[in-house]
Structures are given as structure tokens and as C-alpha cells.
Amino acid sequence: MFRDLREFLAKLEENGQLVRIKDSIYPEPTIREIGRAATDLPNGPAVIMDNIKGMKDMKVALNVHGSWANIALMMGLDKNTTVQDQFFNFLEAWDKYPGEIKNIDSAKAPCHEVIVKDNINLFEHIPLFRINKWDAACFLSKACVITKDPDEPDNFDTQNVGTYRMQVIGKDQICIQALGFHDIARHITHAEEQNKPLPIAIALGNDPVLTFMASTPVNYDLSEYKYAAAINGIPMELTKALTCNLDIPANAEFVIEGEVQPRVRVPEGPFGEFPGTYSGMRLQSVIKVKSISYRKNPIFENLFMGRPWTEIDYLMGLNTCVPLYKQLKETMPEVHSVNAMYQHGLTTIVSTRNRFGGYAKSVAFRVASTPHGISYCKNIILVDEDVDPFNLEQVMWSLSTRVRAEKDVIVIQNTPGMPLDATSYPAGMGNKFIVDATMPTAPDGLLRDSKLIDNPNSKPFEKVIADLQKAALGK
Amino acid sequence: MKCVRCLKDTAGLLTKAPDGSGAWEMYACSRCNFTWRNTEEDDVIKPELREKSFQFTQEPEDLQILVPIPALRK
């Protein structure tokens, strides 16, 4: 569908999902104010700013993935597609793995139209800004970061493409946050065991599906590039990096290349993180930049992240649901769909057929024992298969009419927790809170007066009424 | 120059507005890695107005390391 960010921005604009702010603005605090506003609006559009003081001819794009309308358009769907339908569409595309890779000659790759290797100053080329007020510096919050395992330099599939927060600390120095469970941490550790620098490429402004896959937890030996190609429905165009053997997106707006310095840690943070709170300061790895290349008239795409919901919640929403769904479905085919969109699954709603009395609770135990669910899924809600877990009105209806507190609410104490969640104490410990809002089935005791009102065959009339509504607007 | 966050004399000019307009200057601290622009809000760039909990009062080497430095291979 989209070879690069520019094609997607054109699609958004065509659908009224892209606006441009032409007013002269200071980078702080105005860019963050605009980012917050765009994501707060219903069906919030992407925003391009190109009149930033001191940054003549530079462009910033925010909120590119920041609404369900934009995510639907990324998937090639109508912008009004329901979230559950977007989920099923994503599931179908997921199964098309692996997609095709197309290699582009480095000299012809758009991301190499302008190359800078001497006297590097990132600030002269990229309109960097402080995202949240108490962030330590300007951060890259939406980059695709590419590394290879130094023990397997020729293995394409273990080449990692991930999104990690990065703090620009100098003209040619960037800190990177690698957490122990991140794939990149494994690469850094293998390089450090040999006291070798680790080549790294940071691609900014990519096709929207690659950005989406870079923030998806896929297995270590599966390629994010091949997933992006499968989901995008067109080959992923890659080229060789200028300074090392990495494969980089040929159509990226910017590519920063460098090396992670071995066995060095420097102060990083705080940074306003996805739970809506600031993370503290830690010692993190540091990258020395060796080159920066970019397209003519490049667009700097970054992500504003604040108190939820903001763009990151849309970006990480469906791609948290799908791997969890896949893992549940392996052993529990009764599972119908999974909404794990709340803070990366801290709250997760699963719709399932309650095959026999108490079965839905077993689904919850399975959620709590999936690789992601072990530490993330702490509040687990079960609803029936005919309840759309993405439709919170329906979920609340289930809670209101099907939960017997004495039988359907369970707390399991002192389980693993997610360290960035402020309720996890000590950091890394937590509880599991399970609410079974499915209709009890035998041999469990049944609810009184539980004969449901039938839904009439209303679907055909939805289209009729929607078309009449459109026509009424056109008059 | 004094860092507005750690208050040590370890900061200096990082860069100026790239279009040569003089619209802003940016500074960086080589000790705590804080950076700031001279056009930001007063309570971000004036130490006396900054929120205390966001000041850096520790020694950098006392900060937690999230990914430990591994032993060298033999």
C-alpha cells in the first residue's frame, strides 16, 4: 500500500486526516501543545508544522498514527471501520508472513539523497524538540532502530527493527534505552562481551506499517521487515547502510548511522512514558553518530506521548492484541477476540465462549501466563463472544448485568508486574485482578431472567441509513 | 556555565538555530546530559523556578544500570 511516509501522508490528506500548521511557532512548548490537541480530537488528524522558529525549511510531523481513522487508513480500510474489524483485518494480514524484500542500490536509495559524514551536528538537519516539559532533552520517540546480532552478522531474520526511546545528548551523541527484555539488549550484550562497538542505524519517518511493526513484540528470529511487507501488501524496499552491513529502509526520511559504544553507560532520562508518568534517570548505552543521510525536503516524524490516550496508545494498541490472541488461540479456540489496548495490556479484555461453568476464568489464567501477560496483563476482564471487547459500552453492560461479585471477582497477589507501572511494588511485582463478566453456564448456577433480547437483522439498514446521512450532509 | 538541572559548572553551548536567524541557542550539560533552549518556559530553564523533584542531586555513577555490562569473553 504505502512505500513511504509521504504516500501515507497523501492518503491521510485525501481523507481529511492531515492538517498543516503554518503559523510561526517556537519548538517548546508549542509543538507538544499541538501534539496533545491533535490526539484529543475525535478522529484526530496528523499534523505537519513547517514554520518553526530557527528551523527554516524544516518540517515536523506528529500524530501520524494518532487515531483509529488513521490506523484504519494504514490498513487500507475505510476510516470509519470499527476497532474490532480493524483487529480481524490485522489478524488476517499477520498470517501472510513472510512478505517480500526488495533490495535497492545504495546510490539510488531516496534516503541517501543527501549524505553528511563530516562535522556532524544533528540539530542542523533535524528539527529536534523537547516532547514533555520535564524530559531531560530532545528525544527521538518514533524511530525504527536497526541492529544485528554480532554473533550472527549474516542472519537477516535476527536483524532487529525496534522502537526505543533515544535522548539526543550532543551534536553527534545519542543515548538509547535498552531494557533487559528488549531484543536490542541481547545485541548490545553480545558486542560488549567482545568489547566491540555495535553498528546501529536509526531510521526516522518510515512507511507507517514498518513503524507499526517496529513497536510490535514479534519473536526474536522473525523479521520485522518481512512482517511489514506482508501487512503492507508490497515488497519492503531496503538498501545497505553507508557505514556498516545493516539493511535499512530505502525510503526513510532520515537515517542516522553510528555505533553503540561498548561497555559505556551515561545518564539518561527522565522521559514522559507510556503509562502517563515520567520514568526516572538511569545509566544507559550511548551511540556515537558516524553519518546522517536524508531525502530532499525531509519530514521529521516524531511521537507526542502524554497522559493516555495519545498517539502511542493507537500505535501499540492492535499490535499488542494480536500476539496475545495468537497465543491464547493455540490452546483455547473458544477465544473470539482480545482487546489489550490499555497501557500495553495492563488492562486486557477477552471475549470468549464460556464453554462450561468457570471456563472463562481458565482463559484469564492463560492470559496471565502468556509471555506478554505474565508481567503486563494485571486487570483481566472476560466477556462473552457476542460482546465486542473493543466496545466499552458493551463491556460495561456485561459488567453491570453478569458479574456476581462473590463468584466472579478474583485477586491473585504477589505475581510478576510491569516495572514502569507505578502500582508495581516493589518494581516488577504486582497482582492479577480477574473479573469474569461472561454469562454463567452449567454446571454453574445460572442467572435469573437471563433470556436475551434478540438482535433484529439490522445490518443492511445500517448502510441505508449511513448513505441517507451522507446525502443529507451533501445538500 | 552552570547546568540548570544538576547545578554544576559542566554545561556549555551546544548549538544555535540552524537557519542562522539567532532565534535560539541550545545548551548541554556534559555531566547529567540535560539540554535546554534559551527560549523555553522560565520554570524549565531557571534553576530557582524548576520543580525540585526534577533536579539532579545524585552522583551520575550512583544511578541504576538497566542493562548490566557483561563479563568479557575469554
The domain boundary residue, chosen from A262, A283, A312: A312
Answer whether residue A446 is part of any domain.
no
Please check the confidence at residue A182 and state whether its pLDDT lies above 80.
no
Cα B41 to Cα A58, A471, B36: the distances in Å are 22, 49, 10
Q: Are A354 and A212 in a shared domain?
A: no
Q: Are residues A215 and A347 in the same domain?
A: no
- Model confidence at A302, in pLDDT bands (50, 70, 90)? very high
> For position A353, which CATH number holds?
3.40.1670.10
**A273 part of the active site:** yes
Residue A166 lies in a domain: yes
Last residue of a domain, one of A263, A293, A312: A312
* A302 within a domain of the structure (yes/no): yes
Mean pLDDT value across residues A353-371 = 96
A204-218 pLDDT, tens digit per residue, is 999 999 999 998 878
User: Scanning every residue of chain A, which has its alpha carbon at the shortest distance from the alpha carbon of B26?
Assistant: A123
Which sign, positive or negative, has the C-alpha torsion A306, A300, A69, A36? Answer: positive
Are A297 and A279 part of one and the same domain?
Answer: yes
Residue A179 reports pLDDT greater than 80: no
Is the ipTM of this structure higher than 0.90? Answer: yes
Cα of B23 to nearest chain A Cα, Å: 5
Residues A347 and A227 in one domain: no
Phi–psi pair at A179, nearest 5 degrees = -95, 155
Mean pLDDT of A411-431: 90
Within a domain: A240: yes
- Are residues A270 and A411 part of one domain? no
Contact residues on chain A for B16, CB-CB shorter than 8 A: 54
Q: How far apart are CA A435 and CA A418, in angstroms?
A: 20
Query: Using an 8 Å Cβ cutoff, are A285 and A225 in contact?
Result: no
Provide the grid cell at A72.
484504519
Residues A166 and A193 in one domain: yes
Same domain, A409 and A295: no
Q: What is the pLDDT of residues A36-69, one digit of tens each?
A: 999 999 999 999 999 999 999 999 999 999 999 9
**Same domain for A238 and A378:** no
| A371 shares a domain with A308 | no
Q: A54 vs B32: CB contact, 8 Å cut-off?
A: no
Burial of A110 (0-12, 13-18, 19+ CB in 10 A): buried
Give a yes or no: residue A450 inside a domain. no
CB of A147 less than 8 A from some CB of B: no
If asked whether residues A12 and A145 sit together in one domain, one would say yes
Residue B26 with chain A: CB contacts under 8 Å: 123
Question: Which pLDDT score is estimated for A38?
Answer: 96
Tally the domains of chain A: 2
Residue A335 β-bridge partners: A352
Q: Does B73 touch chain A (CB under 8 A)?
A: yes
Helix or strand run (H / E) with residue A300: strand A299-301
- Does one domain contain both A149 and A189? yes
Co-location of A293 and A324 in the same domain: no
Q: Which of B19, B65, B69 sits opposite A54 (nearest CB)?
A: B19
Is the residue at A355 inside a domain? Answer: yes
Tell whether A27 lies on the interface with B, counting CB pairs under 8 A: yes
Domain that holds residue A422: 316-436
* Chain B residues whose beta carbon lies within 8 Å of the beta carbon of residue A193: 70-73
Within a domain: A448: no
Indicate which CATH number applies to the domain containing A223.
2.30.110.10
Is B39 part of the contact surface with chain A (CB cutoff 8 Å)?
A: yes
Asked which of A312, A346, A374 is the last residue of a domain, the reply is A312
CB contact under 8 A, A54 and B44: no
Cα separation, A239 vs A261, whole angstroms: 24
Q: Inter-chain contact B63–A53, Cβ cutoff 8 Å? A: no
Report yes or no on A80 lying in a domain: yes
